[in-house]
């Protein structure tokens, strides 16, 4: 049994494979995929050690062939690819709601303006609370 140097085991950023579009976990295609992989491994490779070393390559190749490759680019800069967390999404929706209510306020008559003003202040308070919590979360993360 040969041992390979560690430098051959690590992947460089250039050799990163494309992401496969896997189906949902409750999809029937997973069972078919699993059965086909079993058949492929039984027929192609005989020794257990060879099966283990070739397993990831075979799974990737069959998955790529069956399900295709995702169109997203590889992760170059994580900052640009980050998704917003739940609170940031809520802040964004609150901003749009505040803008909508402000537009309605400008067009409303005097009776409606009181209710819209109260609604706008409630939305602003919720937005401010979320922004404060988000600032605290970021400062904690920066501190370590």
128 is a domain residue: yes
**Number of domains composing the chain:** 2
50 and 95 fall within a common domain: no
| 3-class state of residue 23 by DSSP | coil
Domain span including residue 38: 18-67
* pLDDT in 10s for each residue of the chain, 144 residues: 444 444 444 445 557 788 888 888 888 888 888 888 888 877 776 677 777 778 888 888 888 888 888 876 555 545 555 688 999 999 999 999 999 999 999 999 999 999 999 999 999 999 999 999 999 999 998 887
Closest CA to 133 of 122, 125, 144: 125
pTM of the model: 0.44
10 is a domain residue: no
9 is a domain residue: no
Place of tokens 């739940």: 86
60 is a domain residue: yes
56 and 87 fall within a common domain: no
93 and 123 fall within a common domain: yes
Would you say 60 and 20 are in contact if contact means Cβ atoms under 8 Å apart? yes
């Amino acid at each position: 049994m040969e041992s390979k140097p560690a430098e051959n085991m690590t992947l460089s950023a250039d050799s990163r494979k494309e992401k496969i579009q896997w189906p949902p976990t409750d999809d029937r295609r997973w069972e078919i995929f699993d059965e086909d992989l079993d058949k492929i491994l039984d027929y192609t490779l005989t020794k257990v050690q060879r099966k283990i070393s070739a397993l990831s390559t075979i799974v990737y190749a069959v998955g790529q062939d069956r399900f295709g490759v995702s169109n997203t680019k590889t992760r170059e800069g994580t900052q640009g690819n980050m998704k917003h967390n739940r609170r940031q999404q809520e802040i964004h929706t609150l901003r749009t709601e505040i803008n909508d209510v402000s537009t309605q306020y400008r067009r409303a008559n005097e009776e409606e303006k009181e209710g819209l003003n109260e609604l706008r202040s409630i939305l602003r308070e919720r937005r401010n609370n979320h922004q404060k919590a988000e600032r605290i979360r970021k400062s904690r993360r920066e501190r370590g």
